[in-house]
Structure formats: C-alpha cells, structure tokens
Structure 1
C-alpha cells in the first residue's frame, strides 16, 4: 500500500490521530474494557489517538485524562478530555491527575514506548521499565474492580512482570491486537478487576470465624475478603489486629492471646 498500511490509511480516513487508535478499540472490545461514564487515565497519551477512542466510549458522562511529557493538542470534538503535561513518576504530576479525576479511576491504559535505539535488548528493557511505571501508577489510581491495559516488548522478565500484575488483578490476558504491525514485538497485558482489601494493617476489629483452613488457621470474612486468624475455631467471635494484607487475603492475630 505504497509504504502505508491499512490502519494508517484508515486512521486518516476516520479522523484518528494515530493508527494506534485501532489497537485500543480491539483491546477494549476483547475484554470489555471502558464503559459509558468511566473515568480513564491514558499514560503517554500523545498524540491522542487513544484519547479519542476512550472519549467515544465513556461518552458525555465520563472523563478521560491524558498524561504525557509532550504537549497534546486539544481534542476540540471531545469536551470530556483533560490533558496533563508532566511525568507520572513525579508527585506533582500524580497530584494533578488525581485532582483532575476528582475521585476513583475506572481504567488506566498505557501505550508508552521508549525512544528506540535499534538495540533490541536495551529497547526491551526500557519498555519493561515504562510498563512497570504504568503498573505502579495503576495501583495508586484504580478503584476496586478497575481495569488496566499496558504495552510491553516481548523479552526477559516479561513473565515475571505478568506475574506481578496477576497478583493485583482478578484476571490477566496477554494479547497482540490485529492493528499491531506484523513485525512488532509488542504485546499488551489486560488486567481485569483490580483487587483491593477492605482493611489495612493495624486495624482492630471483631470477626466471626466461619471456617478453618488446611493449615488449621481460622478464616473470617470481612466484606468477602478472607482473613486468616491462627488459634481460632469455627464459630468463635474474636477481636483481632490485622498484621498483613494481600490483595486476596490477609493475616490477623487474636488480641485475647497477646
């Protein structure tokens, strides 16, 4: 196609700022991500193709926030889009994003890629670093049940990165959308259902022991969250102090045995 591919030409015809817009369309369709009324944060948003797609999907009741070190030209057709020029590793940028969101964020997406050097191992390592930055940002911003999409180049330590994402989300899928170039080594991880605990380390509360685990520890349920309490038996009601909190479960010590 005279040096230009199908999605490049399609983006020009349909008014998208980049061919990457179709990647987000395909990823969001694949796992039902981004709904009407959602608040979406797009990391590395310039030139704005993903912002356009997100704005279409959240509709007039939603909010889309684009973050990039580069200036993003205003999207005149989308009143729901706000842009923040800055680095998400800096506190002041994160504070601006949080203030702009005005509350919990439903979806964090990142199509960030490093400035390419042509040395694949270096480019892949930088890609993984950016993906981890996006992941850490998603953990700060997302509400319980929120979703996450991130790009990374295939290579060393990607499996370990995926495992870390799986620890924080109910379900994670790795995929390459059709709009990715055939020669591209990029993959996208889609994290569905941000896991968060309804309690914090140090909390003291009264719980009912509803079951006993395979290791013999009592199990309490706090808003559907499993809390393991040693030295307890099913049917007891005990006061505990929370010692450790994981996304899916936590550990506590009964206070009357101190």
Structure 2
C-alpha cells in the first residue's frame, strides 16, 4: 500500500456511534506531537485493519457495475462543509470519493446539514436544513 508523503498522521481508532453521527477520536498524542492542531478541519481516509475485510470489500465492488454508484440518495440528510463556490455562486461540498454536492445560499467554510433533493451519477443538489458552524 502506498502512503503519500503529505499524510499528516496515521493511527488506529474505533468509530463510535452517537445519536446523530459517528465519531473517530483523535489520540491526544497526535496533537501533542504537533501532527494535528485542535480546532482545525482535516480530511481523513479510512483503511480497514483486517485484510479479510479489505478483500471482501474489494470483491463486492468488482461484482457490482463498473461505474460506482452515487454515495447519497434523494431525501437523505448529510452534514457537509462548503469548500468552494461554483460559477453561479452556489456552495460546493465534496463527500465520499470526491462526489460533489451543490448547496445554494451557502458560503465557503460553512458547515451545514443538507437534504439531498436530486442525485445524478456525478453530482447531487441539496438544500440547507440547518446551519451548523462557520470556519473562516
């Protein structure tokens, strides 16, 4: 497995379920070592630790159609961070596999809950149901 040189931190953690989301706890040692800063936003990658899990996951993906399915469905609610603005001024968030969600009436750095209204192979469109926070 290739690990890119710009990887800031690598550690093992459990995913914990809360009432409305799932949480990955960052070990305090990662903050103490200066690899990560508290209060900052990071993208994370999840790598299975069990080789059998990885093989069965790969096998199920290859048996599906060659084109990956969108990671969202109409009516689903997602929490996203607006990363950029599109040509029309709509907010753009990226979720799994770089899939794009377009959200009108948002600003760069804003975290919002959105209801997915329509889904295509490459992009979904959602509307804000709750404004969660803003990172300038």
Give the TM-score taking structure 2 as reference length. Answer: 0.48
Give the TM-score taking structure 1 as reference length. Answer: 0.26
Structure with the bigger RCO (C-alpha within 8 Å, sep 6+) is 2
Larger Rg: 1
Richer in helix (by share): 1
